[in-house]
Chain A
């Protein structure tokens, strides 16, 4: 019955230009469902187009699994344009794959070769427990933000947006830090599973701006306290976080957080 075939090629003419097709060996971590304890399972995928995104390649695998009435591989994803921070997987040892400044959803198959073996694992950290297959629980990040990652202003209390001029460079540095998408790749990449890059990006984003400076000390103290309680490791300035960060957030933010925290501890007054 041709229903499935009919569904293909609906939106476009099949590609005529020389798009390469490749064969991949996938080694994917499965956990939950029939794979109680968690294990790697090998899959072979033919006819992978170089124009596919990495997640579209996994879609194709899942379609094949479903056709065989097997459970598809669970992985999280949403916007598929590198901004929501939902996708989270370690590809060949790199969170979000080997390309710099790229989320897994932006990674395209033209960076792989015919016959490659691709190992896909979940983010590994005690503070990010595995939920199923490649899906992990990153709610610790939410709790860290709740501990102080905001400016305390109620709706309607604001003065005119131009009332406080902010130097262009200052706004830009704040924006560099604010670009963090909260995906957790920094934790996944860090041999210590430290969340310092994430926390420092938020602290820097807000502390750099005059609006956020007011409660900067309190913020640094409370966010670090929550970070410690969540069971993340201690930063030893390895720098893998920066190297793997899909938004290329700088470890300089960590130095800024450290100095904020130190000054909070010694001059921040009573909590």
Chain B
């Protein structure tokens, strides 16, 4: 199959591209919309917002989720907030600044035009969410409150306690529910997409498995939209939900879509450290904690060792013996450096033997200073003169509780330690994948009629995503971008009658799915799917995690291939295919992770530079900072998968920066 990468970025000045394009793009008349079917896979922020908006516009939408309800999508777990260039705080924010911060934060590996559009529509998202009843935090005057996030110097993050993702998703879910009740969206819960059907080069349907009955079902439409999230679970341990997977997206790659920048993975610096080998997933502590928490490790290894062995506690390390390494190394941004920088710095500290958990893999996030600061300020406003230390602490803890109470509670539930009294222990963990399906300006993949939204596309975050921008992108794509841009494709389809799911392409795709399932369920193996997944994750984390090198990546690729072969030889999937069978679901997902993992490693190996979340040990400055190579790698690496034991083919989309100057990212 020949592949031509055309980003379809409209001409014109950056700030006017979207407005002009939107005013001139092709439309589908209301009477024709009624005749057009669209499949939306996934009901997170991107999927639910797209499905409901397309339904409102009058299209016939079929919406799919593998969950028991659209409301369970993993967007729900986002804690901290959502960015928008509202400049409500009058602190100098603007669309351009949000655009610039995102481009810079992404280490200059994203497409200017897409990012600018994202910054533009960010403002509409807040308005839309407020109108839907999202209970954002408010000031006493009744206006919307903001807070700061990493990598920026303005306050532009809107939030609903520590449950912003939940509230935004419920807003989208409720809009979707309204469309379901109006009959414009047909909802298919507990249906997992297992293949894409391409007819005459266009995406025309999907094959899905009914997870309750095991039935393999066909669904046809004029266009297919996937909004199926990221692939962080390829690392086994991540902050992703247990069922988050790449399968729907990966199956489109198997049908010809391209996987762009798969090695760009975000490692989030503030997660609760691993406690044992039974561990199934990692829990994130919101980045907003870095507004007030100070990150440190002991200055010398003896103290760290004593802490690890339980002979000393954090509070016994005197101030002078602590290394607040982020404040020391990056005075301009301090504890609020971007995620990739903070994560790497934690890894460096632990690699130097300064880690503070029994595993050696943790640093402190300390609120003592914030408690004291807030306590003094509160005592002052209460008119207390010369308050004693206990009073200050008590008052300060109250303020901290108001701001982060639910996060502190969550931490205590998991670890059994009280973060008000002893510093939190944190360590980086896989959190988000910037890479994803290659899409053009219309969010359309190289397969006409196939669109990819939200985390599952690659478009906006470059090599590193800024905090509170994932929610922004998901909703921007679903509410304010795709509903327009899909018209560009569909306006050419108004004469296309309903697609019949009896076409031979559907027969073939269904047969392929059945063959895959039969192979797994009938395999006479002895090892569980889980054990393979864990081993794959270990390889990915060790060789394609926070830091990578060519030698490790080469051997990792070999290991993945061997593990994949072993998987197909020795995996045991209990139960039947014609029944509710979570083990079979997992097996199909892990099978796809093997193929994706190999391409990720290949991509990391190809990219001979360090940028954002991709840190190649060979390419660093003497101070250990990432060394980018704009000369040779300012491109999107879009991989075409050609099958087992075949070399994937690399396609390049050169990134053109007309509006920002490529600089070495510095947060010092």
- Chain A interface residues toward B at CB < 8 A: 3-4, 6-17, 19, 32-33, 49, 51-53, 55-56, 59-60, 63, 65-67, 69-72, 74, 76-86, 101-102, 106, 108, 110, 131-132, 135, 137-139, 141-142, 145-162, 164-168, 171-172, 174-175, 178-179, 181-182, 205-206, 209, 211-212
Contact = CB atoms under 8 A, between A and B. Distances in A.
A217 to B, nearest CB: 16
24 contacts: A6-B535, A14-B277, A70-B574, A76-B68, A78-B241, A78-B242, A81-B410, A86-B68, A86-B72, A108-B414, A137-B68, A145-B174, A146-B181, A150-B174, A154-B56, A156-B124, A156-B479, A158-B127, A159-B131, A161-B126, A164-B130, A167-B142, A206-B133, A211-B132
Given A78-B67, A78-B72, 9 more contacts: A13-B359, A69-B574, A79-B242, A139-B68, A155-B53, A156-B479, A158-B128, A168-B139, A178-B170
B423 interface: no
Contacts of B131: 151, 153, 157-159, 211
Interface in B557-593: 572, 574-575, 579-580, 582-583
Given A71-B574, A162-B144, A10 B242 contact: no
B177 interface: yes
**B76, B139, B189, most chain A CB atoms within 10 A:** B76
B580 A74 contact: yes
Given A158-B128, A162-B143, A171 B279 contact: no
Nearest to B167: A178
A26 B479 CA distance: 47
Query: Binding site of A, secondary structure by majority: helix, strand, loop or mixed?
Result: loop
Interface string B394-438: 000000000000000110011010000000000000000000000
B363 interface: no
B322 interface: no
B547 interface: no
Contacts of B133: 150-151, 174, 205-206, 209, 211-212
Contacts of B393: none
Given A12-B359, A15-B358, A51 B166 contact: no
Contacts of B160: 175, 178
A102 B531 CA distance: 29
Contact of A79 (B77, B212, B274, B279): B77
B178 A152 contact: yes
A4 B527 contact: yes
Contacts of A86: 67-68, 72
Interface in B43-87: 49, 52-53, 56, 67-72, 74, 76-77, 86
In the A-B complex, the 7 residue pairs with the smallest Cβ-Cβ separation, listed nearest first, are: A165-B142, A150-B174, A158-B131, A158-B127, A175-B135, A161-B130, A10-B538
Given A66-B574, A67-B528, A205-B133, A142 B177 contact: yes
Contacts of A138: 68-69
B173 interface: yes
Nearest to B532: A7
Given A15-B275, A32-B580, A178-B167, A211 B572 contact: no
A174 B69 CA distance: 23
Given A78-B242, A84-B72, A138-B68, A33 B575 contact: yes
Given A55-B280, A66-B572, A81-B410, A17 B358 contact: yes
A174 B38 CA distance: 35
B177 A80 contact: no
Contacts of B74: 78-79, 84
B143 A165 contact: yes
A178 B136 CA distance: 11
B138 interface: yes
B237 interface: yes
Given A161-B127, A161-B130, A168-B138, A12 B277 contact: yes
A135 B190 CA distance: 12
A54 B350 CA distance: 30
Contacts of B310: 17
B140 A168 contact: yes
A165 B575 contact: no
A51 to B, nearest CB: 4
Contacts of B277: 8-12, 14
Contacts of A149: 174, 177
A131 B210 CA distance: 13
Contacts of A84: 72, 74, 76-77, 241
Given A11-B541, A59-B280, A167-B138, A141 B127 contact: no
A171 B129 CA distance: 14
Contacts of B128: 153, 155-156, 158
Contact of A69 (B177, B358, B483, B572): B572
B138 A83 contact: no
A106 B410 contact: yes
B173 A155 contact: no
Given A79-B76, A79-B241, A139-B69, A159 B178 contact: no
